[in-house]
Structure 1
Amino acid sequence: MEIAENTALVVVDVQQGFEQRDFWGERNNPEADTQIETLIDAWQATGRPVVFVRHDSSKPDSPLRPGQPGNDFKPYVEQRRGKGSGAELLLTKTVNSAFYGTPDLDAWLKEAGISQFVVAGIQTNMCAETTARMGGNLGYEVLFALDATYTFDLEGPFGWRRSADELARATAVSLHGGGFARVVTTQELVAAATTA
């Protein structure tokens, strides 16, 4: 795997509100936060750009709405903001895709000459997947760090219910098999980034 010197890390919605298990339900991948932290550290140590995405929910019952403690980044993310030598962007959004946020992610990436980015964060099958899909559609080379994401059990139509692990696997198969992104591990990314 080749990681360009200007490959961006897009850290999606790593916010305190996702710790409210009574709201979200059962999650998967308890090691995800450690993997996200590892990626941020590797990107900052190598001077690569990092995009911190925050979801400002407009739903009145959401733990992620502005003005609530749950809207804040998790402490390990907040402690790392502004610490790297590479470019950094804070982006806010109210929908799933970081490409529909403020400021304009596509314009920022293009202005910096960035054609490859890594997606990590929360939730695997929601905002992380949507951002990866849009990036692929827009012509970027997208690397999806599956083990640096997590999600929650979910009920859909007809009483169908899927576990967080099943949803994560479905995301990986759809993104990778559908050509939207290359699904990879944190270890692969760090190895490529630190030897480039």
Structure 2
Amino acid sequence: MTRALLVIDMQRAFDDLSFWGPTTNPACEENVAALAAQWTRTGEPIVVVHHDSTSPGSPLNPDEPGNALVDVVAAIEPALTVGKHVNSAFYGDPDLHAWLKSQEISELVICGIQTNMCVETTARMAGNLGYDVTVALDATRTFDLSTDVAGLGVVTRTADELMATTALDLQAGGFATIATTASLID
């Protein structure tokens, strides 16, 4: 096998829209499940990544119920499970890059939450490390963002805008190819 599926941060905390705000792509979980089923059928490895926030009170803190994986991902029997405290799965435990190299995996398909945060950061790092990266965009989702940025004032983007910008940045920047779940299953 030279290809693996990376499922990033599919955790229950992200269902709390009162905390995260408006989201997009309600089909994300269904598409992640479809990808995982395809990888299971073909016997290809699946890596499940989860974010373990070190911030007390964060819904992603290991002491919070939101840290748990969503049911469709909890049911997966992964080849590897990686815990992380930052955006990139390559800074997790155990060492994802070392494991991928030991398995002679050169191609990654990435899905999960949040499109413009952990998915994008992991895809960029993977591309920089020399992996052939595909992001299944319709198997990701994110949330609206608004913040005060020095020199720009308050900047606001919808979840749809953020997903489109991530797709543009990753593909045009040469970090990853953007694909649909259907194209990866067919």
Q: Could you state the TM-score of these two structures normalised by the residue count of structure 2?
A: 0.96
Normalized per residue, the structure richer in strand is: 2
CA distance in 1, matches of 2:55, 2:145: 18
Structure 2 residue 22 is the aligned partner of structure 1 residue 31:
no
How far has the Cα of 1:97 moved from its partner?
Answer: 0.1
Alignment of 1:1-196 (within 5 A): 5-81=1-77, 88-156=79-147, 157=149, 158-191=153-186
Report deviation, 1:75.
Answer: 1.0
Determine the C-alpha separation between the residues in 2 that align with 1:69 and 1:46: 32
SS at match of 1:160: strand
Q: How many residues align?
A: 182
Alpha-carbon distance between aligned partners in 2 of 1:163 and 1:6, rounded to the nearest angstrom:
36
Q: Is the 8 A contact 1:144 1:183 kept in 2?
A: yes
Distance 2:70 2:101 in 1: 29
Judge conservation of contact 2:142–2:159 (CA < 8 Å) in 1: yes
Paired letter, 1:130:
T
- 3-state SS, counterpart of residue 56 of structure 2: coil
The question of whether the paired residues in 1 share the 8 Å contact of 2:89 and 2:96 is answered with yes
Percentage identity across paired residues of the two chains: 51
Cα shift at 1:76 = 1.3
Residue 81 of structure 1: how far off its partner (Å): 2.7
Cα shift at 1:61 = 2.8
CA distance in 2, matches of 1:60, 1:25: 20
Distance in 1 between the 2:52 and 2:45 partners?
22
The two structures have a TM-score, normalised by structure 1, of 0.91
Q: Residue 77 of structure 2 aligns to a residue in which SS?
A: coil
Amino acid at match of 2:8: V
Structure 1 gap ranges (5+)? 83-87, 192-196
1:69-98 Cα distance to aligned partner (Å, 9 max, x none)? 10010011112235xxxxx10100000000
Q: Superposition RMSD on alpha carbons, in Å?
A: 0.8
Q: Does the aligned pair in 2 maintain the 1:6–1:49 contact within 8 Å?
A: no
Q: Is the 8 A contact 2:58 2:64 kept in 1?
A: no
Local SS of the residue matching 1:159: strand
